[in-house]
Amino acid sequence: MGSILIIGAGAAGSVVAKKCAMNREVFQKIHLASRTLEKCRKVKEECVSDITISQVDADDTAQVFRLIEKEKPDVVVNMALPYQDLPIMDACLATGVSYLDTANYEPKDEARFSYTWQWAYQDRFRDKGIMAVLGCGFDPGVISIYCAYAQKNLLDEIHTIDIIDCNDGSHGKAFATNFNPEINIREVTQRGKYWKEGQWIEVDPLSIACMIDYPLVGPRKSYLIYHEEEESLVKNIKGLKQIRFWMTFSDNYIKHLEVLQNVGMTRIDPVMYNGVEIIPLQFLKHLLPEPSSLAENYTGKTSIGCILKGVKAGRQASYIIFNVCDHAECSRELKAQAVSYTTGVPAMTGAMMMLKGLWVGKGVFNVEELPPEPFLDEVARQGLPWQAIELGPEAYQELAEL
């Protein structure tokens, strides 16, 4: 049916490639490219059907342009770092090829991510007659589509959204991150933020916490952080009065993070070491385990969803929509852990929606602006089943009172 170019062969990018290789009726031609060719070779060996591979520096628009011209894909799926979103979008514009990613742009020299840089491409993508789909991982991605589904099918008005993200797994390492360490640590250490009654409210990093009861996992301590889908959901969910994002971190993770911050290892500004300029956080990244290496002995589950409260037929109503994913099952299927699985499977599913003509448009779209039902049906078939459960009036009351 179509041709796909996947840029990035890390933990989540490898899931996209392997899942595409399992769906050849849609992905007739699959090309995987990365800065590190050896990573591509490893993924190619583990795919159930043949894919082609090459090396590319995704920071270099000219290189990406030449690769697109050579491979002639119908869609480019960006599984590289958020720093590379704009160079890859520029190459897609130059070649007239549609684009999909899982994380919004952030500049290397500032720990601040925002969709505004990519939304600025709206007119250029529309005038070129191509489509850019932003944030098609899990959160952002599936979570945003849950919200769109609720807005269309469950609630007449959505007033509050609490996104809840729990990794209740154990990888057996003293300290490791489940996706790119540099991006993970930048995300967690920046100031928290949430939206309430028309304004953004900032808080100190990890300064607000509460216990949240996660489906099939149980109560876990969760911290308020800022996450990118809040920015687009505020724009696209009508009548919204408040949105927050909560994530679990183990005491061990918090302890290590505090020490690393205290000794300066999470800094993103350059320092001189033996006459060489280095970025401490980038150096730390090379010392930590590769997220793709964690799968084999990973145990436990992820439980990720959203609690939505609002009005239905004139009465107060609330729902929780969620997915639970098992690390060991992901490892058995794809040699992946659940965090990379829950990012890669939605990206593959989004590309499938585009190739099947179920998601169409000209311009730049966040996933909640696109039809939710075909995506949710397919993503469940591909390994991420979901449930929507109506809640009683007392459910998650402690969270509502914060």
**Three-state secondary structure readout of 249-261:** CCHHHHHHHHHHH
Task: Give Cα 10 distance to the centre of its chain.
Answer: 13
> Is the fold of 2-134 the same as that of 142-335+385-401?
no
The domain limits of the chain are 2-134, 142-335+385-401
Residues of the chain with pLDDT under 70: 111, 178-181, 183, 292, 295
Contact 402/380 with Cβ under 8 angstroms?
no
The model carries a pTM of 0.93
Q: Burial of 17 by CB count in 10 Å (0-12 exposed, 13-18 middle, 19+ buried)? A: buried
Rounded Cα–Cα distance for residues 164 and 199 (Å): 21
pLDDT of residue 191: 87
pLDDT at position 394: 86
Question: What pLDDT does 179 receive?
Answer: 60
**What is the Cα–Cα distance from 15 to 31, expressed in whole angstroms?**
13
Q: Which of 145, 129, 148 is nearest to 137 (CA)?
A: 145
Report the candidate in 171, 318, 348, 164 with the shortest Cα–Cα distance to residue 245: 164
CB contact set of 295 (below 8 Å; sequence gap of 6+): 327, 330, 331, 335, 336, 337, 340
Q: Which of 217, 197, 221 shows the shortest CA–CA distance to 338?
A: 217
Note the pLDDT of residue 111: 66
Amino acid at 195: W
The domain defined by 142-335+385-401 carries CATH number 3.40.980.10: no
CA distances to 230, 259, 277, 278, 288 from 273, rounded to whole Å, are: 39, 20, 6, 7, 20
Q: How far is 167 from 281, CA to CA, in rounded Å? A: 23
- Asked whether 208 and 245 are in contact (CB, 8 A), the reply is no
- Asked whether 10 and 30 are in contact (CB, 8 A), the reply is no
CATH code, residues 2-134: 3.40.50.720
Answer yes or no: are the C-beta atoms of 194 and 201 closer than 8 Å: yes
Q: What pLDDT shows up at residue 295?
A: 61
**46-59 pLDDT, tens digit each:** 999 999 999 999 99
